Amino acid sequence: MQSTDEKNKIRTALNEKDGFDVWWRLLRPHTLTASFVPVFVGTMIAYVDGTFHLILFLAMLLASMLIQTATNMFNEYYDYVRGLDTEESVGISGTIVRDGIKPELVRNGAFLLYAFSVLLGIYICMESSWYVAILGLLGMLVGYAYTGGPLPISYTPLGELFSGIFMGTLIIGISYFIQTETITWNVILISLPITIFIGSLNMANNIRDREGDKRGGRKTIPVLLGRDKSITLMAALFVTAYGLTILYIILNILPLWSFITLLSAGKARSVIKNFRGKTEPLEMMPAMKATGITNTLYGFLLGISLLISAV
């Protein structure tokens, strides 16, 4: 058990406060750009192709954020139930282990957010196609199965792949489809760098939590490869994402304006720099923050480049 002083030291380092902040942290708002970016990019591709419906965009954006928030809450609940989250854990909201919120309240809150997202999904399907419901429900199932169910995805080396595909390519594809009622190979291709960056968010989380995950029986990529090789792999993924972007511009899949996405490369470089040589979770928090900013910057600049090219 931790002493009160040790617990307060962690809370101070993580800037955790009482009151409303407890519930705000539970939503993990700093991660929600991973929902905004793919919806924004998918919608901007549709805008370039001549179609934009504001209400559908807003409904899709809110539904995606609700599903991601619910997934975060399921993670909090099931990691606590399985004994992975403790008072010393850094990469969590801490509402259960440090703030004393009942685990069942967190779990039921996640199901409630899923229910709201279903209502939004019904509206989206009514305005586009009921095929969207199948993909949406699949995304929700994967969100739950990431830490829930008999074989959680987070216990396997597939976490980065599933999070990248289902929060990147799938959401971009749906966001484009509900605007245009069609899908193209260009949409899939453009989604790949976003998929890589979102998967890298998951990898950054797993690099930070490697020691705890290893003790808990998880077989994540960082557990299997080791910290140093995982950081090198992340660097290679970043290079691949920017390389694909340049290739798409050369092939006229993306407009020339998309070169502005390279402005985010400096932040990507800082991710690797801040991970190298670090072994303690608190030491890696700047790298975690930089990973999220990299995804946000790249996605925002990509969407803006598409918007500029269409006007």
For the chain, domain boundaries = 18-310
Burial of residue 203 (number of CB atoms within 10 Å: 0-12, 13-18, 19+)? buried
Amino acid (1-letter code) at residue 250: I
Measured CA to CA, the distance from residue 301 to residue 306 in angstroms comes to 9
Q: Which residues contact 297 (CB under 8 A, 6 or more apart)?
A: 263, 264, 267
| Highest-scoring range by mean pLDDT, 17-21, 138-142, 246-250 | 246-250
Has residue 79 got a pLDDT over 50?
Answer: yes
* pLDDT recorded at residue 67: 94
Percent of the chain whose pLDDT exceeds 90: 68
Has residue 1 got a pLDDT over 50?
Answer: no
User: Which residue, 142, 255, 264, 258, is CA-closest to 197?
Assistant: 264
The CATH class that applies to domain 18-310 reads mainly alpha
Residues in the chain: 311
Q: Number of helices and strands (H, E) in the chain? A: 14, 0
Q: Is-contact 214 206, C-beta < 8 A? A: no
Q: Which residues contact 230 (CB under 8 A, 6 or more apart)?
A: 203, 206, 207, 210, 221, 222
Report residue 111's pLDDT band, with 50, 70 and 90 as the boundaries.
Answer: very high
User: Which residue, 86, 123, 94, 125, is CA-closest to 17?
Assistant: 94
